[in-house]
Amino acid sequence: MYGKIYGWEGRTSYAHSLGRRWAVGGVAVARGSEFENLDAHLHGGPLAEFNFFPYYENASQQLRMAYQVGAWANWYIEMNREGLFREVHPYHALSLIADANQTWGSVQWVGQANSFIDEPKLYRLSTGAIISLRLFEGLAFNVEGEAALVRDQINLRQREVTDLELLLWTVEQPTEYTYDVQVSLSYTFGSKHDTIINPRFARVDLEEE
Protein backbone atom coordinates (compact mmCIF):
# COMPACT_ATOMS: atom_id res chain seq x y z
CA MET A 1 0.00 0.00 0.00
CA TYR A 2 1.34 3.42 -0.93
CA GLY A 3 2.48 5.56 1.98
CA LYS A 4 3.54 2.56 4.07
CA ILE A 5 7.16 1.50 3.67
CA TYR A 6 9.34 -0.68 5.87
CA GLY A 7 12.86 -0.44 7.19
CA TRP A 8 15.09 -2.18 9.70
CA GLU A 9 18.64 -1.78 10.97
CA GLY A 10 21.19 -3.37 13.28
CA ARG A 11 24.85 -2.76 14.01
CA THR A 12 27.62 -4.23 16.09
CA SER A 13 31.25 -3.41 16.78
CA TYR A 14 34.20 -4.76 18.71
CA ALA A 15 37.01 -2.55 20.02
CA HIS A 16 40.29 -3.66 21.56
CA SER A 17 42.26 -0.96 23.35
CA LEU A 18 45.94 -0.49 22.53
CA GLY A 19 47.01 1.93 25.20
CA ARG A 20 45.49 5.31 26.03
CA ARG A 21 44.93 6.55 22.47
CA TRP A 22 44.62 3.62 20.02
CA ALA A 23 41.87 1.06 19.46
CA VAL A 24 41.47 -1.63 16.78
CA GLY A 25 38.63 -3.98 16.01
CA GLY A 26 35.77 -4.27 13.58
CA VAL A 27 32.32 -2.98 12.73
CA ALA A 28 29.32 -4.48 10.91
CA VAL A 29 26.09 -2.75 9.87
CA ALA A 30 23.02 -4.49 8.41
CA ARG A 31 19.81 -2.81 7.31
CA GLY A 32 16.94 -2.87 4.88
CA SER A 33 14.92 0.00 3.42
CA GLU A 34 12.02 -0.14 0.98
CA PHE A 35 12.49 3.59 0.40
CA GLU A 36 16.12 3.01 -0.69
CA ASN A 37 15.30 -0.14 -2.73
CA LEU A 38 17.29 -2.26 -0.27
CA ASP A 39 15.95 -5.69 0.51
CA ALA A 40 19.13 -6.03 2.57
CA HIS A 41 22.39 -4.16 2.95
CA LEU A 42 25.54 -5.21 4.79
CA HIS A 43 28.84 -3.42 5.22
CA GLY A 44 31.69 -3.97 7.62
CA GLY A 45 35.29 -4.87 8.20
CA PRO A 46 38.34 -3.99 10.29
CA LEU A 47 38.57 -0.57 11.92
CA ALA A 48 41.38 1.38 13.56
CA GLU A 49 40.98 4.52 15.67
CA PHE A 50 43.31 7.11 17.16
CA ASN A 51 42.21 9.54 19.89
CA PHE A 52 44.25 12.74 20.07
CA PHE A 53 43.30 12.92 23.74
CA PRO A 54 43.73 10.00 26.17
CA TYR A 55 40.50 7.99 26.41
CA TYR A 56 40.20 8.69 30.14
CA GLU A 57 39.43 12.33 29.20
CA ASN A 58 36.40 11.28 27.12
CA ALA A 59 33.90 12.83 29.56
CA SER A 60 35.25 16.33 28.81
CA GLN A 61 36.87 16.13 25.38
CA GLN A 62 37.45 13.80 22.44
CA LEU A 63 39.05 14.13 19.03
CA ARG A 64 39.12 10.77 17.30
CA MET A 65 40.16 9.72 13.79
CA ALA A 66 38.94 6.34 12.50
CA TYR A 67 39.65 4.41 9.30
CA GLN A 68 37.61 1.43 8.19
CA VAL A 69 37.84 -0.86 5.18
CA GLY A 70 35.69 -3.78 4.14
CA ALA A 71 32.90 -5.09 1.92
CA TRP A 72 29.74 -3.21 0.89
CA ALA A 73 26.95 -5.54 -0.25
CA ASN A 74 23.45 -4.64 -1.50
CA TRP A 75 20.48 -6.88 -2.33
CA TYR A 76 17.81 -4.90 -4.17
CA ILE A 77 14.02 -5.13 -4.07
CA GLU A 78 13.85 -3.97 -7.69
CA MET A 79 16.50 -3.89 -10.41
CA ASN A 80 18.83 -0.91 -9.99
CA ARG A 81 19.88 1.45 -12.77
CA GLU A 82 22.72 -0.86 -13.77
CA GLY A 83 20.27 -3.73 -14.19
CA LEU A 84 21.46 -5.56 -11.06
CA PHE A 85 19.59 -7.22 -8.21
CA ARG A 86 22.72 -7.52 -6.04
CA GLU A 87 26.28 -6.22 -6.00
CA VAL A 88 29.35 -6.13 -3.77
CA HIS A 89 32.08 -3.48 -3.63
CA PRO A 90 35.17 -2.99 -1.48
CA TYR A 91 34.88 0.30 0.39
CA HIS A 92 36.83 2.47 2.81
CA ALA A 93 35.93 5.41 5.03
CA LEU A 94 37.79 8.01 7.05
CA SER A 95 35.97 9.65 9.97
CA LEU A 96 36.84 12.50 12.31
CA ILE A 97 34.79 12.79 15.52
CA ALA A 98 35.04 15.66 18.02
CA ASP A 99 33.28 16.14 21.37
CA ALA A 100 33.56 18.94 23.90
CA ASN A 101 31.61 18.96 27.17
CA GLN A 102 31.63 22.10 29.31
CA THR A 103 29.49 23.58 32.07
CA TRP A 104 27.43 25.54 29.50
CA GLY A 105 26.70 22.47 27.38
CA SER A 106 28.34 20.37 24.69
CA VAL A 107 29.32 20.29 21.02
CA GLN A 108 29.55 17.08 19.00
CA TRP A 109 30.79 17.01 15.40
CA VAL A 110 31.38 14.22 12.88
CA GLY A 111 32.94 14.42 9.42
CA GLN A 112 33.30 11.44 7.08
CA ALA A 113 34.59 10.69 3.60
CA ASN A 114 33.85 7.27 2.10
CA SER A 115 34.09 5.72 -1.36
CA PHE A 116 34.19 2.42 -3.20
CA ILE A 117 37.77 1.30 -3.73
CA ASP A 118 37.03 -0.23 -7.14
CA GLU A 119 35.08 2.87 -8.28
CA PRO A 120 36.52 5.98 -6.57
CA LYS A 121 34.16 8.30 -8.48
CA LEU A 122 31.35 6.85 -6.31
CA TYR A 123 31.85 8.65 -3.01
CA ARG A 124 30.11 10.60 -0.26
CA LEU A 125 31.29 13.51 1.94
CA SER A 126 29.21 13.92 5.10
CA THR A 127 29.19 16.11 8.17
CA GLY A 128 26.93 16.40 11.19
CA ALA A 129 26.87 18.35 14.44
CA ILE A 130 24.86 18.63 17.66
CA ILE A 131 25.05 21.75 19.82
CA SER A 132 23.48 21.37 23.26
CA LEU A 133 23.05 24.43 25.48
CA ARG A 134 22.35 23.71 29.15
CA LEU A 135 19.47 25.92 30.34
CA PHE A 136 19.57 24.62 33.88
CA GLU A 137 20.37 21.34 35.63
CA GLY A 138 19.18 18.50 33.38
CA LEU A 139 17.37 20.62 30.77
CA ALA A 140 19.10 21.45 27.47
CA PHE A 141 18.24 23.16 24.19
CA ASN A 142 19.59 21.20 21.21
CA VAL A 143 20.29 22.07 17.59
CA GLU A 144 21.23 19.16 15.32
CA GLY A 145 22.16 19.25 11.65
CA GLU A 146 23.56 17.00 8.93
CA ALA A 147 24.64 17.57 5.34
CA ALA A 148 26.17 15.38 2.65
CA LEU A 149 27.58 15.63 -0.86
CA VAL A 150 26.19 12.51 -2.55
CA ARG A 151 27.87 10.69 -5.45
CA ASP A 152 27.20 7.04 -4.54
CA GLN A 153 23.52 6.29 -5.22
CA ILE A 154 24.03 2.84 -6.75
CA ASN A 155 20.73 1.61 -5.27
CA LEU A 156 18.30 3.75 -7.32
CA ARG A 157 15.53 1.89 -9.16
CA GLN A 158 15.84 1.44 -12.91
CA ARG A 159 12.16 2.12 -13.60
CA GLU A 160 10.51 5.51 -13.65
CA VAL A 161 9.04 6.69 -10.36
CA THR A 162 5.26 7.12 -10.42
CA ASP A 163 3.59 10.44 -9.65
CA LEU A 164 1.98 8.95 -6.54
CA GLU A 165 5.33 7.64 -5.23
CA LEU A 166 6.81 11.07 -5.83
CA LEU A 167 3.92 12.79 -4.05
CA LEU A 168 4.09 10.46 -1.02
CA TRP A 169 7.92 10.35 -1.07
CA THR A 170 8.06 6.57 -0.75
CA VAL A 171 10.89 6.05 -3.27
CA GLU A 172 14.37 7.55 -3.11
CA GLN A 173 15.14 10.11 -5.82
CA PRO A 174 18.46 11.05 -7.44
CA THR A 175 20.20 13.85 -5.55
CA GLU A 176 23.57 15.53 -5.33
CA TYR A 177 23.25 16.60 -1.72
CA THR A 178 21.14 16.11 1.41
CA TYR A 179 20.66 18.17 4.55
CA ASP A 180 18.60 18.06 7.72
CA VAL A 181 18.18 20.39 10.72
CA GLN A 182 16.34 19.63 13.96
CA VAL A 183 15.67 21.63 17.10
CA SER A 184 14.64 20.02 20.41
CA LEU A 185 14.57 20.19 24.19
CA SER A 186 15.93 17.33 26.27
CA TYR A 187 16.04 16.48 29.94
CA THR A 188 18.73 14.21 31.42
CA PHE A 189 18.35 12.55 34.82
CA GLY A 190 21.44 12.04 36.93
CA SER A 191 24.98 12.95 35.91
CA LYS A 192 25.60 14.39 32.46
CA HIS A 193 28.27 11.72 32.08
CA ASP A 194 26.08 8.73 32.94
CA THR A 195 25.71 7.67 29.30
CA ILE A 196 29.45 7.89 28.55
CA ILE A 197 30.72 4.34 28.98
CA ASN A 198 33.17 3.59 26.16
CA PRO A 199 33.78 6.14 23.40
CA ARG A 200 35.77 3.78 21.19
CA PHE A 201 34.27 3.51 17.69
CA ALA A 202 31.27 5.63 18.71
CA ARG A 203 29.68 7.49 15.77
CA VAL A 204 32.08 6.21 13.11
CA ASP A 205 28.96 6.32 10.90
CA LEU A 206 26.83 9.46 10.68
CA GLU A 207 23.75 7.20 10.83
CA GLU A 208 24.55 6.64 14.51
CA GLU A 209 23.80 10.28 15.28
Asked, for residue 11, whether it belongs to a domain, the answer is yes
Residue 209 pLDDT: 45
Asked, for residue 103, whether it belongs to a domain, the answer is yes
Residue 203 pLDDT: 77
The DSSP call for residue 162 is P
pLDDT grade, residue 67 (50/70/90)? very high
For 88-116, what is the mean pLDDT? Answer: 95
Pick the more confident residue, 205 or 48. 48
Residue 32 pLDDT: 97
CA distance linking residue 7 with residue 208, whole number of Å = 16
Q: How many domains, the chain?
A: 1
Asked, for residue 207, whether it belongs to a domain, the answer is no
Inform me whether the pLDDT recorded for 35 exceeds 90. Answer: yes
Inform me whether the pLDDT recorded for 120 exceeds 60. Answer: yes
Q: For the segment 139-149, what is each residue's pLDDT rounded down to a tens digit?
A: 999 999 999 99
Asked, for residue 2, whether it belongs to a domain, the answer is no
152 Cβ contact list (under 8 Å, min separation 6): 114, 115, 116, 122, 123, 124
Q: For the segment 156-165, what is each residue's pLDDT rounded down to a tens digit?
A: 999 999 999 9
Q: What domain range is 154 assigned to?
A: 7-201
